[in-house]
Structures are given as structure tokens and as C-alpha cells.
Structure 1
Amino acid sequence: MVSRIVEDYRAQQEGILSQGFWALLVYRFSHRRLACRIPVIRQLWYVLNRILGKWIEIITGIMIPESATIGRRLRIEHFGSIIIHGASVIGDDCVIRQGVTLGIKDTTDLAAAPHIGNHVDIGAGAKIIGKVAIGDHAVIGANAVVIRDVPPMSIAVGVPAIVKSRR
């Protein structure tokens, strides 16, 4: 866990002052609770997670539930209005900017959240909704609304997003 936190710190351009780093720090701490098998400790840890998570959400405007799966070196370039659904998966070396939502399409399938590959760059205000897969090295343009899969090495822009090849 410590090595992941150090990697998260190094990935942030603002270093210790980065609010994205603090949100990831609380996420990493909270996510570890899922591996705890001692009921009393797990319950106390849950209460602490709820308090820290809400505090981070108020201070930074970033919501990352402990149930989300986040890879290594996620960089949150600008904080504020970032919502990540608990069933979302984010790969290694991704970049997320302000106003991004990774969410579900409707409440009938709470597990139908986005799966983001490695080295994905998500522009400000982008919305990735539903059970969609974003391929490795893809770029999601600012304010794009992605409701379909985006292949690797592609760019998705517009509302709804149109996918174009980067090759």
C-alpha cells in the first residue's frame, strides 16, 4: 500500500498540495478495508472511511468510493466535481480532469459501470456512462458523453461521443 501511495504522490504535478493526491490517499486507505476479515475492526474502519470520504468530498469535490478499482499512478490534474461510481475500474497511468463522471446508466444494474484501460486521458467535463470499455491509450475529449465502447488508440469527442482513430 505504501508503494502505491508514493507512486500516487509522484504522479501528481502539484505534489503534496494536490487535492487529487489527498483523495487518492483516502481511497487507498479505505480500499484496504475490503481485505480485512475481522468484523469489529472492519466495522470501525467503515465508520472512519465514511467520515474521511465525506470530508474529502466536501474539501476537494472528488468522490471515490472504496469499492472502485483504481490502478497505479492515477493523476487527477484539476480537482472538483469528479464522481467515480463504486463499480468503476480505472487502469494504470490514467489522467482525469475536473468535472468527470464515471457512472451507471440506470439503477437497474448497479454493476454496469465504465471500465477504463491503461494510459487513458479523460478531458474536463467528460461523462462516461454505463457498462462501456475504454481501450488503452484512448483520449476522451472535453465534455464528451461516452455511451459506447472506445477502442484502443482512439479519440472520443462530442455529445454523444463520436469515435475517431488516432493512427
Structure 2
Amino acid sequence: MGLWEDAKNIRDKDPAARNVAEVIILYPGFHVLVTHKIAHFLYNHRCFFLARFVSQLARHLTGIEIHPGAKIGRKLFIDHGMGIVFGETTEIGDNCTIYHGVTLGGTGKDTGKRHPTLGDNVLIGAGAKVLGPVYIGDNVRVGAGSVVLKNLPANATAVGVPAEIVRVGNIKCCPADDLDQQDLPDIVNQRISELEARLSRLEAEKQGEFPPDKKE
């Protein structure tokens, strides 16, 4: 049931997928789930070389690198997939969606549990990086290109470098591919605008246009 469920999930979430057969034959996001199950089985039975061999073969075939030790829940949807990396101690919950270019990696400073843990129903946008043993709560959305270095609570939306929480909804469940990428605030642009406004005020005060103690 597991792989058939995964294939149907991809068909349901990808508007370009016409049927389950197409997903099974043509989709690298499905192929890598198949090979990871094999590699993870070998890893758990301490056949580390064979496990890495299978995972590296999958990497060359799909462009997706998943360490054999990573734990993946049900109904993971990897869309496109090229450039995705999951580290050894990564844990992914059920019904998650991950776009191309995503890294669930380490910081290089941690030992033991070094990689992220994702709850259920999480979406990670294209090119985002989640680094270190951080926990990403259920129903979290991470905008494209963001860099997450801290834990994120359930139902949050985070964007930016480093990522900041811009929205927290009281949502019990929502589609794992539900994120309006065009409706997310530009954190960097907001910070620049705030700095420009502050600089303008300081220059005006220096020129005597506003007394230092006057409040606007």
C-alpha cells in the first residue's frame, strides 16, 4: 500500500500528472521514494556500503540525494526534485511537500542529531534551506529561497534569510501544497525601507529640520 499510496498522492497533488501509471514510470520524485525504501532497509540492517551505493545510484538517476538514514513518512510529494538533499538524521512527517533545490542539512557544528525534523503537512518552497537539528511544526509553510535556522511553531509561515515568521494561523489541517508564493512579504525589502526611513530622519535632525526630542 505504501508505494501505491505515494504514487496516488503525487498524481493528486501535481496538476500535470494525468494518471498513476505516468507517475510510476516517469516521475523522479516517485523513483527516489522507491530506492530510498531499499537503501533505508539496508541502512537499518547495517549494510552501510550497499545502502550508500543505492542512494548514490538514485542521486545520479534523479538528481535527488537522500541519505539512507533519513526517515520519511507517508505521502511525501517531491515536486521536480532536482538538487534536493536530505541529511542522515533528517526526519519527515506525513503528507509533506518539498520543491526542487531544497536542502534539509546540517550546520557542520552539531553531532548526533544534526539535521531537521519536519512535522506533518509541511511545505518547503523551492530553493529553501533548513539547517541544523531544528524542529518544523505541523502545517508549517516555508517560502521559496528562505534559510531556516531556528524552530518554527505549528501553523506558521516563514520567509527570508534568515527566515522570520510572518504569519501564524489557527489551522488544524490544510493542504500540504497550499502556499501562495506571491502573497508573502519581502522581509529584506521591509528592513531596507525601515533603514532608509531612519537614515532620512537622522539626516533631517542633523540639518536642524527636526529637534532631536521632537516626536513625529
Tell me if TM exceeds 0.5: yes
Judge conservation of contact 1:138–1:153 (CA < 8 Å) in 2: yes
**Aligned-pair Cα RMSD in Å:** 1.6
What is residue 142 of structure 2 aligned with on the other side? Answer: 140
Paired residues, number: 158
Could you say which structure has the greater relative contact order, defined with CA pairs below 8 angstroms and 6 or more residues apart?
Answer: 1
Runs of at least 5 residues in structure 1 that lack an aligned partner in the other structure: 37-41
Shift of 1:29: 1.3
TM-score, length-scaled by structure 2: 0.68
Q: Which one has a bigger Cα radius of gyration?
A: 2
**Is residue 2:10 matched to residue 1:8?**
no
Cα distance change of structure 1 residues 35 and 86 upon mapping to structure 2, 3 Å threshold? closer
Judge conservation of contact 1:104–1:110 (CA < 8 Å) in 2: no
Q: Provide the secondary structure at the position in 2 that maps to 1:93.
A: coil
The match for 1:21 among 30, 38, 43 is 30
- CA distance in 2 between counterparts of 1:106 and 1:47 reads 23
TM-score, length-scaled by structure 1: 0.87
- CA distance in 2 between counterparts of 1:35 and 1:133 reads 23
- CA distance in 1 between counterparts of 2:150 and 2:34 reads 31
What is residue 52 of structure 1 aligned with on the other side? Answer: 54
Shift of 1:47: 4.6
Q: Provide the secondary structure at the position in 2 that maps to 1:21.
A: helix
Cα distance change of structure 1 residues 110 and 147 upon mapping to structure 2, 3 Å threshold? same
Question: Which one has the bigger strand percentage?
Answer: 1
**Is residue 2:67 matched to residue 1:69?**
no
Shift of 1:51: 3.1
Amino acid at match of 1:65: H
Cα distance change of structure 1 residues 35 and 162 upon mapping to structure 2, 3 Å threshold? closer
User: Percent identity between the aligned chains?
Assistant: 37
